Amino acid sequence: MDPQAFIRLSIGSLGLRIPGAALNSVNSEIHVVSSPCSCEIRLRGFPMQTTPVPFVTSPEAAPDSHSIASSFYLDESDLKALLAPGCFYSTHACLEIAVFSERKGSHCGVGTKRQQIGTFKLEVSPEWGDGRPVILYNGWIGIGKSKQESGRPGAELHLRVKLDPDPRYVFQFEDVTKLSPQIVQLQGSIKQPIFSCKFSRERPESWQPWGKLEAWRERGIRDSVCCRFRLLSEGHEGGELLMSEIYINSEKGGEFFIDTDRQMREAAASPIPSPQSSGDFAALSLVVGGFVMSCRVQGEGKSSKPLVQLAMRHVTCVEDAAIFMALAAAVNLSIEACRPFRRRIKRSSRHSL
């Protein structure tokens, strides 16, 4: 099996400091020190990501060099698109990080007021496609000037931007999962048959369960199916380790994934985080770290042939790939299994006429 080339662009070790801010209580920058700060991380063609930025009070201190705040995964086509000038761009695309401070509004304390502190930009270059690890930036950089004293340095941002090769295997079911279809590996326009799958209710006594997938329907403005997957691990307290907890739109479908960086980032950004998730994801990041797998599925009632991507470092043989493909099939079947009974009855009655 030959993997496809992917690269991981990670942004971490974030920190913000304002030299001399603590010496001048009249300076407006004091508001920044006492207010939470966040940044918007933008890369052309990808959804914007938002993450908090901690304030660093000590001049000698530096943020954790191993912390990851944001990640982007790029394949060859993504990189070509970034290197090509767009309709309104004369140069290559840029990684842009805009830092903001947020504080409560003055009207009865309701609402928030955002103030942009500064922006960091890094142009995409051909070296991004060299396929080797490279640190694009690491350290402090000034991102703004003081409004009252233009000659004195303003805010400084600490960050670490790194590229790592992250090759993946890409598989797809040739037919809907409930028909036990053949599975092929994709290499561009080439499809290579790898193995076929067969689902049976008869689970051999020699087989031992390695994971547990729970799925249920959440009712709301837009119904969704929550898929929670736990790894059965003897070394973890309680014997189970949360690997993923994803809400998939029941009508449009969506993406199930195991990616500890992304899970921790979304859990931190959620206004109502799952009480069971944050601690488990933190523990998982020490064991796994980064992208493991992703699976795109269609919504209920649609013919779904899931497309699955697997990190090469987690697949050492065909059997490893088969385990992940079985999980992808289970997620896909769960979308159909969580349909309301009334919809199933209506569909059955139409076929019986």
Strands of 190-196's sheet, edge to edge?
A: 190-196, 182-187, 168-173, 307-311, 291-297, 254-259
| Together in a domain, 15 and 152 | yes
Closest CA to 327 of 353, 292, 289, 299: 292
* 31 strand-pairing partners: none
Q: Which of the listed residues 140, 165, 190 is the one where a domain comes to its end?
A: 165
If asked whether residues 125 and 217 sit together in one domain, one would say: no
State the pLDDT at residue 300. Answer: 85
In one-letter notation, the amino acid at residue 284 is L
| Residue 353 in domain | no
221 found inside a domain: yes
Same domain membership, residue 271 and residue 204: yes
Helix (H) or strand (E) holding 78: helix 76-83
Tell me, yes or no, whether 111 lies in a domain. Answer: yes
Residues across the chain: 353
For residue 55, tell me if it sits in a domain.
Answer: yes
DSSP string covering 280-324: HHHHHHHHS-SEEEEEEE--TTS----EEEEEGGG-SSHHHHHHH
Tens of pLDDT, residue by residue, the chain (353 residues)? 789 999 999 999 999 998 765 444 444 444 555 578 999 999 999 999 999 999 998 777 788 888 888 999 999 999 999 988 765 655 779 999 999 987 765 555 556 678 899 999 999 999 998 889 999 999 999 997 654 445 556 899 999 999 999 999 999 998 888 888 899 999 878 899 988 877 666 676 777 788 899 999 988 767 899 999 998 877 656 678 888 999 999 989 999 999 887 776 666 555 444 444 444 544 444 445 689 999 999 988 888 889 999 999 999 988 899 999 999 999 999 998 888 876 555 555 555 44
Which pLDDT score, from 0 to 100, does residue 179 have? Answer: 82
Task: Provide the number of structural domains found in the chain.
Answer: 2
Interhelix angle 260-269/278-287, rounded to 10 degrees, is 160
pLDDT at 325: 92
Which pLDDT does position 151 carry in this prediction? 56
pTM of the model: 0.77
What pLDDT is attached to residue 277?
47
Per-residue b/e over 160-172, b at no fewer than 16 CB within 10 Å? Answer: bbbbbebebbbbb
**Whole-number pLDDT of residue 241:** 85
Q: Is residue 1 part of a domain?
A: no
Same domain, 135 and 242: no
Whether 315 and 212 share a structural domain: yes
Sign of CA dihedral 169, 175, 176, 177: negative
Asked whether residue 150 falls in the same domain as residue 87, the answer is yes
Tokens of 210: 């390695």
Q: Are residues 137 and 68 in the same domain?
A: yes
Is residue 308 in a domain?
yes
Q: Which domain holds residue 58?
A: 7-165
User: What pLDDT shows up at residue 64?
Assistant: 85
